[in-house]
Amino acid sequence: EPEVTQTPSHQVTQMGQEVILRCVPISNHLYFYWYRQILGQKVEFLVSFYNNEISEKSEIFDDQFSVERPDGSNFTLKIRSTKLEDSAMYFCASSENRQGGSPLHFGNGTRLTVT
- The stretch near other proteins (CB under 8 A) out of 12-20, 44-52, 65-73, 74-82 is 44-52
d(CA 28, CA 96): 7
Percent of the chain as helix, strand, coil, to the nearest 5: 5, 50, 50
Site string for other proteins, 51-90 (x = CB under 8 A): ----xx-x--------------------------------
Backbone angles phi, psi at 4, to 5 degrees: -90, 130
Task: Establish if 43 lies at the interface with other proteins (CB under 8 A).
Answer: yes
Please select the residue that binds other proteins; options are 31, 79, 82, 86, rule is CB under 8 A: 31
| Closer to other proteins by Cβ: residue 27 or 41 | 41
Task: Establish if 26 lies at the interface with other proteins (CB under 8 A).
Answer: no
Task: Establish if 33 lies at the interface with other proteins (CB under 8 A).
Answer: yes
14 by Cβ neighbours in 10 Å (0-12 / 13-18 / 19+) ranks as exposed
